Structure 1
Amino acid sequence: MLYYLIVCRSLTYAQRTAAALERAGITARVLRSPKSIAGEGCSHSVKISQRRLPDALRILQRVGLTPKRVYITAGDGSYQEVAL
């Protein structure tokens, strides 16, 4: 199953992002970003279904929570950054 990871700058930011999406009816799960996309240090991401990205981005823009980066899973388990 394909899904998106919305990379956030902190755990608190990821929790706020997930809460905003959940309030809008989008299932969102906070997790540590995989090392391949985390860069330096640790970061947290919010995992959402592939079909919900457009709605999620609109909701986050409306509440002022701009994503740092967004990645989609590839068929081989790797991640590819999505241009916003």
Structure 2
Amino acid sequence: MVYTIVVHLQAKPEHVEEVKGKLIEAAEVYRKDQEDPKDETKFCIVERYEKESSQQYHLNNPTFDPFVVPKLAQPMDLTRWEEM
């Protein structure tokens, strides 16, 4: 079993660059984590949209699925949620 964490955060406008820098620094450290499963066949995509209509437009875009779906070992596991 693999446990996945997806974190959403919003920086204060005056700290955006500092937070970006810390995330880049943290990614370099976490990539070396001994417990990080190194399965190159698995991917996690996180996308955010302000309007549901934008999300629907993206999900119905015919460019991605026809290329990717035939190359997948299992169907995509897509989860959607709305946050305030």
Q: TM-score, normalised by structure 2?
A: 0.30
* Structure exhibiting the larger radius of gyration computed from Cα positions: 2
By percentage of residues, which structure has more strand? 1
Relative contact order, higher structure (CA 8 A, sep 6+): 1
